[in-house]
Amino acid sequence: MKATILLGFLALAATNPLSCSQPVYLPNKIHTPIFHDKGEVEGSASYTGNSGFGASLAYTPVKSFFIEAGGNAAPAVKPFTSNNSTKFFYGEVGYYNCPTPLIELELSGGYGKGTAEVYDNFPENLFDTSYTSWYYGSGNEYDHKNVSYDRFHVQTSLGFHGAVHESPGGKHENDLVMEFALTPRLVYLNTTKYVVDHYDTGHVLIGTRNESFSNVFLEFGATLRVGFKHLILELQTGSSSTLGANQAILSQGSFLSVGLVSRF
């Protein structure tokens, strides 16, 4: 119980860094199923700080191929409080291969749609107004952003799977297992709506503008799992970096996820 609370605190700390501006794009957990045969099902539930609570379900209808769907959502933002919120849902198909019983390779790709809402008391410098710094309290100006986007991704994964302790009864579902995976993910994000409303220190709307972003991100996740077949504790740390963009959407650069995985 204490370990779970500690992991949750670490996730909260890692995904809410002190920064001047609130990120708009909040990467979701990089799901890395580890399959060995057809007919397997894997479900997961997780918490990833600013990205909120997530769930996913993956299935192997035939040997070497899997399908997956999932999403995540964070609570709605509070007006005129510097914070953010997001919703994201996706689907993907993938190929897996097990060159040895202990190693699995994956390649997958998918598409998702997301939304974000942000209140930011470090507004962008596009209005000639009497902006005041954050340490002056509630008299700040704000940018309120409403964003919708399409996201395409391709990822590959190298996974390791092994029994730490085998069940004396010979029932492998009771074996204590440990898994580790390294997963780079390439993401293309295109905004279909990016509306910014600017409010002065009295919370009066003084300007609205529309923007557009098309950015590529290189994301990386390292995943550790320990547990039994039907209940596995999962910890993942990840990063996200913009590639080659002159104008980049504000994004979160790192995240930490904790959750549970179950296989049937």
Summarised one tens digit per residue, pLDDT across range 197-254 is 999 989 999 999 999 999 999 999 999 999 998 999 999 999 999 999 888 999 999 9
- What's the whole-model pTM score? 0.86
Length in residues, the chain: 264
Q: Which of 177, 18, 172 is nearest to 102 (CA)?
A: 177
Using 50, 70 and 90 to split pLDDT, how confident is the model at 3?
A: very low
- Print the domain residue range for 75: 2-263
CA distance 249 to 212: 9
Q: Mean pLDDT across the chain, nearest whole number?
A: 87
Q: Helices in the chain by DSSP H: which ranges?
A: 2-15
Question: Which pLDDT band, with edges at 50, 70 and 90, does 124 fall under?
Answer: low
The backbone torsions φ and ψ at residue 168, rounded to the nearest 5 degrees and listed phi first, read -60, -30
Tell me how far apart the alpha carbons of residues 64 and 73 are, in angstroms, rounded to a whole number. 30
| Percent share of the chain, pLDDT over 70 | 86
DSSP string, 82-108: SEEEEEEEEEEEEEEEEEETTEEEEEE
User: What number of other Cβ atoms are within 10 A of residue 25's Cβ?
Assistant: 26
Q: Which residue, among 5, 66, 9, 15, has the nearest Cα to 37 in the 3D structure?
A: 66
Query: Is 248 exposed, middle or buried (CB count within 10 Å of its CB: 0-12, 13-18, 19+)?
Result: middle
Assign residue 67 the CATH number of its domain: 2.40.128
What pLDDT, in 10s, does the model give residues 35-89? 989 999 999 999 999 999 999 999 999 999 999 999 999 999 999 999 999 999 9
Yes or no: say if 66 and 60 are a contact pair by the CB < 8 Å rule. Answer: yes
Q: How many domains does the chain have?
A: 1
Is the CA virtual torsion 22, 23, 24, 28 positive or negative?
A: negative
